[in-house]
Structure 1
Amino acid sequence: MRTLFKFLFVLLLVSVVGCGTSSIPKASPEQLAELENLVENKKIFFEAEWAMPLTTNSLNQISNAGLLPPGSTANQINLIGNNNFLKIDGDSVSAYLPYYGERQMGGVYNQSNAGIKFEGVPTDFEISKDDKKNTYSIKFDVNDRSEAFQVNMTLFPNMTASVNINSNERFSIRYQGKAKKAMQQ
């Protein structure tokens, strides 16, 4: 009887592990070429559809009070229809992203922009490719006035992207959205 239970357990374990779907979506050669072109030319325009802040007690209170956009929760805020961007154009970067979360310290008085805003030439700019997942990772640091940002962007073959931003003055936040070729201005 014990042997039968061991056999059934092993069989169940193998079927659960073996029947899982692949988490790596298949990408067409055209999608891969488009993504590679964006990254090689450093012409990337990211528009966030969702903000995913670090959920804190204060953010939960704001959510419970109904102060977040419709369809949003404390850990996932809908940004569709909200003008925002992160742009990589050659050797320069710029961003204007809404920020939901808590400041850890500081901040500038009389600042009309409470979002994440920067423009300039980044430092420690690094691009790496994950050949197994067909994704690109772009990391850089950039400063705006007294605030320093560490930006980590992951680009997927279906032209979606995930952007994580850490700051010396705010809790971290992640954005999900779409990437496309940055247009010349």
Structure 2
Amino acid sequence: MKTLKRFLMLAAVFTAVQASAQTDKETTTKLVDSKTFTFNATSAQPLANADLNAILSKMPGGQGGGNIQLSGSMYDLKVTKDSVVAYLPYYGRAYTATMNPDDAGIRFKSKDFTYKVEQKKKGNWIITINPKDVKDGQRLTLNIGTTGYAMLNVINNNRQSISFSGYLSDPAAVTAKAK
């Protein structure tokens, strides 16, 4: 029964996020080709473990660690040709403790990274980013659909993996709206 509830909840989230995706196929293609886009996180899916589920289920409105809504937050991953900037939360188990409270989430700026794009048969893309100047050895994999909806998987040497759902946006359009 729990599996069915989680499946239905994930389906509802994917449908809601897909409906709010702010790009069409043409715009998404342009963003991927230009290597300049922002991934806006709308939910986080930590790797399930009993400790995390026990903590999150005790929070107000908590359902456990299956899916954490980030609605209204400003969590994102900004990619340009010369830099990658991550400002994302982290929920899960860390294998080594940090002494710096600012290292709590997935926050880094990288100017030295590899960027690999692979286009799939149905028009989707898989982008793999490996920052070389980040201390924890992160690997970021973005699975992007033609409508701008995307899944970001973050693999870290010192923490459990975590995934984020969200959508792509054009940073130039956001800047133009702000003016």
- Number of residue pairs the alignment of both structures matches: 153
2:39 partner letter: F
Query: SS of the residue aligned with 1:101?
Result: coil
1:155: how far off?
1.1
Q: How is 1:13-162 mapped onto 2 (pairs within 5 angstroms)?
A: 31-66=24-59, 70=61, 72-107=63-98, 109-130=99-120, 132-143=121-132, 146-162=135-151
Partner Cα distance (1:31, 1:81) in 2: 22
SS at match of 2:137: strand
Alignment root-mean-square deviation, CA: 2.2
**Contact 2:112–2:133 (8 Å) recurs in 1:** no
1:123 shift after superposition: 2.6
Note if contact 2:52-2:64 (Cα within 8 Å) is conserved in structure 1: no
| Contact persistence 1:104–1:170 (CA under 8 A) | yes
Structure 1 distance, partners of 2:43, 2:130, is 22
Overall identity of the aligned pairs, in %: 28
Q: What CA deviation, in whole Å up to 9, does each residue of 1:68-99 have, x standing for no partner?
A: xx465311001001221101111211110010
Query: 1 CA distance for matches of 2:144 and 2:64?
Result: 25
1:118, 1:142 within 8 Å by CA — same for their partners in 2? Answer: no
Aligned partner of 2:159 in structure 1 is 170
In structure 2, do the counterparts of structure 1 residues 122 and 163 end up closer, same or farther at CA, with 3 Å as the change threshold?
farther
Runs of 5+ consecutive residues of structure 2 not aligned to the other structure: 1-22
Specify the code of the residue in structure 1 equivalent to 2:26.
A
User: In structure 2, what is the Cα distance between the partners aligned to 1:171 and 1:105?
Assistant: 11
**Residue 72 to residue 141, structure 1, CA distance change in 2 (3 Å):** farther
Go from structure 1 to structure 2 and tell me whether the alpha carbon gap of 1:181 and 1:104 turns closer, same or farther (over 3 Å shift). same
**Per-residue deviation, residues 17-40 of structure 1 (Å, max 9, x unmatched):** xxxxxxxxxxxxx93221110011
Larger Rg: 1
Cα distance in structure 2, aligned partners of 1:71 and 1:63: 6
Does the Cα contact within 8 Å between 1:122 and 1:140 map onto a contact in 2?
no
Q: What stretches of structure 1 move > 3 A for 4+ residues in a row?
A: 70-73
* C-alpha distance 129-79 of structure 1, shift in aligned 2 (>3 A): same
TM-score (norm 2): 0.77
Taking the aligned partners of 1:123 and 1:112, their CA distance within structure 2 comes to: 22
Question: What secondary structure is seen at the aligned counterpart in 2 of 1:164?
Answer: strand
CA distance in 2: counterparts of 1:157 and 1:78, whole angstroms: 23
